[in-house]
Chains A and B, each alone.
Chain A
Amino acid sequence: MFAIPPPDVLIQGILSGILMGFVYALIAAGLSLIFGLMEIVNFAHGEFLMLSMYTAFWMYALFALDPLLSVPICAAVLFALGWLSYAGIIRRILGGPMLAQIFATFGLAIFLRSAAQFLWTPDFRQVGEAWIQGPVRILGISVGLPQVVASAACLIAFGILYWFITGTETGMALEATAQDRQAAALMGINTERMFALGWGLGSACVGVAGAFLASFFYVFPHVGGLFALIAYVTVALGGFGSVPGSLVAGVIIGVIEVLGGLLIAPAFKYVAVFVLYLIVVLLRPQGLLGKF
């Protein structure tokens, strides 16, 4: 325990942690967007990610479509899924008891995860011949090319999301709805539409992240659980409802995960992340950049 690895291993670890952090950030941004809008935690967020990864995988397996090309398809599929989840389920539990709010999406998570296992078996699957693969050297440090592409793409997607929220009229209407539902409605904003849009956009974020993850990560029915837990930690650390907060937090968590694995033991890397979550919510419940 606590053996300090050589510096080059440490630097390489930190770099790959930062790269993974951008992916975490995009996943968390989707969760944070939805929470900021209506104070509901989507417990099925990880399962949405899993479905996106499967979409990319099946596009590859059935139509030989590279995950890179599946990105718009995954984003569109997940946007529709998010919109439908809002229209079919979430709309009915807004303002309901906490129990209903938690178990409506928690049930959805179990349903999607088990349905995936039922339909596609628990086997681990992998995209065999992706366009982008193999290592690449950055400043003499070797990292996986798919990770570099994924993190760059997630960072770009993150930027587009941020621009959309702060720079467009629809985005401002979204932000207004998040701040005060009634006032926004009085200003003529269709808040129902905004909520549905928020769910669509938040889910499209995991759609993009999932397509890129599928190019270098195993795809299996339970893959979402891990990423979802990391996303909760990221959102809690960055501040629930704060989209920029998730970027900072995502990177911090990516690095802590790697350091936990390197300094303690690989089996404990997620334990380090969860312990961080507990420390954060206890010491600073509103997170680093949280408003609440």
Chain B
Amino acid sequence: MTALRPVRGVRGIALLAMVLLAALAFPWVFRLPYHRDLAIKVFLYAMLAQAWNILAGYCGQISLGHAVFFGTGAYTSTVLQMTWGMNPWVGLLAGVVLAVALSLLIGYPCFRLRGHYFAIATIAIGEIVQTLAINWDFIGGARGLTLTIQKDSLLAFQFHTSKYPYYYIMLGLLTLCLLVSWRIERTRLGYYLRAIREDPEAAASVGIPVAKYKQIAMAISAAFVAAGGTFYAQYVLYLDPDSVLPLSLSILVCVLGVVGGTGTLWGPLVGAALLIPLSEFTRITLGGTGRAADLVIYGALLTGVAVFQPAGLVGLIGRRQG
């Protein structure tokens, strides 16, 4: 419903080109590893939030358990690599396929639920999956998995001497996700999803197969989140249920989307660009992660935005579009 008008026509294209150019040049201007790491995190979480937004923002199905797909991606590529030596890029695709299959499995029963019920069901599924992962020794259980260090190469998806490739791979993934969302917004799929969000009964009555389109939205959403999971595993080289499957990750993804603006193309990116550095900053100034200072701010922001500005930050600057 809300889309930024300025990103249209010649001026829009010029603006986009400048943003992209700035993103490409960023690691060469800010050469500190800290800045690069921060930018990678912003891109990763922006992509996760945008993927969540495809289901929650456009289609109105609020998932509070998206960490399940992140964990699926991270674990699939890592386990395949460790047990059968499968290439991580193939593993990424396998993770995506598995996450899509899982999304169909979860969606089939849960899409019969409405509003609050759906949200609670996704929390329950998230908790079940995390408990199963903690108790499943084949995938490392609570100890987690450490990836085998390999020689730098694009094929091995590992870079140690220079971390620049991680930056560009993540930028590429985010761009792909934004392109897909942009296409969705402008095609029949996007109109269907928004119709379902506004009024499922009305959508069904004009002949939209509601269940099928909810599934499609969730499958696309799950695919990108799983790809993000594999990227995380290859970047951090260690994963455990607490880092790739926690409720807090599902929450973070929602916070970025809601604060930035749900149902918009730029909202999640704006949310991530503002909040991820903010959370780093509070961690540095207000003590370690154990204090949860960033989460105090996230919670207050989430409530504040929901009560006073449900359209998110993008809704403040963007003019509404019919």
Contacts and interface: CB of A to CB of B under 8 A. Distances in A.
Q: Do A and B bind each other?
A: yes
A103 B303 contact: yes
Contacts of A229: 123-124, 127
A41 B310 contact: no
B131 interface: yes
A267 B134 contact: yes
B116 A97 contact: no
A92 B135 contact: no
Interface stretch (B84-92, B167-175, B220-228, B286-294): B286-294
Interface in B241-291: 247, 251, 254-255, 258, 262, 290-291
Interface stretch (B20-28, B107-115, B232-240): B107-115
Contacts of A115: 296, 299
A118 B293 contact: yes
Interface in A264-280: 265, 267-268, 270-271, 274-275, 277-278
B305 A103 contact: yes
Nearest to B127: A274
Contacts of B155: none
Contact of B56 (A99, A112, A267): A99
Given A102-B62, A111-B299, A282-B112, A268 B310 contact: no
B3 interface: no
Interface string B103-145: 0000001101101110111011101100110110000000000
Contacts, number: 141
Given A89-B307, A92-B307, A98-B115, A268 B299 contact: no
A271 B306 contact: no
A106 B291 CA distance: 20
Given A99-B62, A104-B307, A114 B299 contact: yes
B6 interface: no
Contacts of A225: 247
B301 interface: yes
B304 A281 contact: no
B184 interface: no
A183 B117 CA distance: 27
B299 A99 contact: no
* Chain A interface bracket (under 10, 10 to 19, 20 to 34, 35 or more): 35 or more
Given A114-B295, A122-B290, A106 B121 contact: no
B116 A41 contact: yes
Contacts of A112: 299
A118 B293 CA distance: 6
A42 B157 CA distance: 44
A109 interface: yes
A263 interface: no
B128 to A, nearest CB: 5
Given A102-B119, A281-B121, A109 B299 contact: yes
Nearest to B120: A232
Given A93-B306, A277-B124, A281-B117, A108 B299 contact: yes
B114 to A, nearest CB: 8
A275 B128 CA distance: 8
Contacts of B305: 103, 107
Given A104-B306, A104-B307, A270-B131, A110 B124 contact: no
A100 interface: yes
A121 B255 CA distance: 23
A109 B307 CA distance: 14
B290 A103 contact: no
Contact of B258 (A93, A103, A221, A236): A103
A80 to B, nearest CB: 18
Nearest to A117: B292
A104 B303 contact: yes
Contacts of A93: 306-307
A107 B135 contact: no
B95 interface: no
Contacts of A232: 120, 123-124
A96 interface: yes
B298 interface: yes
A100 B293 contact: no
B229 interface: no
A108 B296 CA distance: 9
A108 B299 CA distance: 6
B134 A98 contact: no
A282 B109 contact: yes
B299 A271 contact: no
Interface of A: 41, 89, 92-93, 96-115, 117-118, 121-122, 221, 225, 229, 232-233, 236, 265, 267-268, 270-271, 274-275, 277-278, 281-282, 285
11 contacts: A93-B307, A97-B310, A99-B62, A99-B258, A102-B115, A104-B307, A107-B306, A108-B303, A111-B302, A114-B292, A268-B135
Interface of B: 56, 60, 62, 64, 109-110, 112-113, 115-117, 119-121, 123-125, 127-128, 131-132, 134-135, 247, 251, 254-255, 258, 262, 290-293, 295-296, 298-308, 310
Which 7 A-B pairs rank lowest in CB-CB distance, beginning with the nearest? A107-B302, A111-B299, A110-B299, A107-B303, A114-B295, A103-B306, A114-B292
Given A99-B56, A111-B295, A113-B295, 10 more contacts: A41-B116, A103-B305, A107-B300, A107-B303, A108-B303, A110-B298, A117-B292, A232-B120, A271-B128, A282-B112
